[in-house]
Structure 1
Amino acid sequence: MTSHELERVIAYHRITKHAPGRYARSLGYMDWDTQPDPFRRFDGAPRVELPLRADALRTKYAELYEPGAVAPHPLGIDGVATFFELALGLTAWKGYGESRWSLRADPSSGNLHPTEAYAVLPSIAGVLDAGVFHYLSHDHCLEQRARVAPDR
């Protein structure tokens, strides 16, 4: 990146960020026609499809706060899938006219930020190799971003 390009990036950041006592410069309304895709995708990345498992979960909420009430389980694809489904998964789709949007498990008070999550996971036999994964909530899957070399 040249120094001129860097100056442009810094200038853009300066004029588009919020500051104490003022909001970032904007149009004053939401430009719904030019919204970016709310789901980050890494085209061509190897994917691991995750099962929807939350309905099979038998743990009661109160048991989470009782020492020893929930037995530990080895890390497996079902646990990873359940974690992402309950923490960051999509809970419903809504629509009005031609507009369509998702509701997420993580409440946001209407904030329009994208869901971003990465996990560094060990190898799970028969399912995935150790590596760094991005969670894509739209498709409830993991996208492999990097492989981790096995121990020698």
Structure 2
Amino acid sequence: MESILKKVVKTEERKNILTKLLKGPCCCEDLSKELNISKGLPPRFLKLCASLNIVKRERISHKVYYSINPENYLKIYNAISLENKKTEEKKNFKHNIKKDEFQTTLSVGDSKNYEINKIDNGFGGTTFILNNNDTSYEIFKTNDNNYWCVSCQSVDCEHILYLKKASSKKRI
């Protein structure tokens, strides 16, 4: 049950919906308006929660009101509190470390050796393929020195840092 609750409170919107339900019963329309989220998210999420017996649903006239199942009230509260604490720790950690320090620690700790293949494409950029024993990563570099790691879907990942470090050492 705990692993299910961890997955249920993984996103911010879901946490907000359950936090609102901890305060009292609410219908999907009110949740959408108060939390400023799409109208489709609360009913889909709450139907899932109802099937998992996390929340109970009650129809009053034409509206369906959802409330936390009393058996799971404490478990949900603890799961939300734990997830909020993790989120705060991540935010504080990111604010405490400057970007340069973060890049330095990543590049110092990077002991992987990649074979770098350079491909000039006809679209005004360069594609680099980083090959390791069993993995391959594709990085696109524009003429303006902007990088994009296709594998990580990121502009600032360990593969890009490795490529920048390798290019500063003139390995490529």
TM-score (norm 1): 0.26
**Greater radius of gyration (CA):** 2
Query: Higher helix proportion, which one?
Result: 2
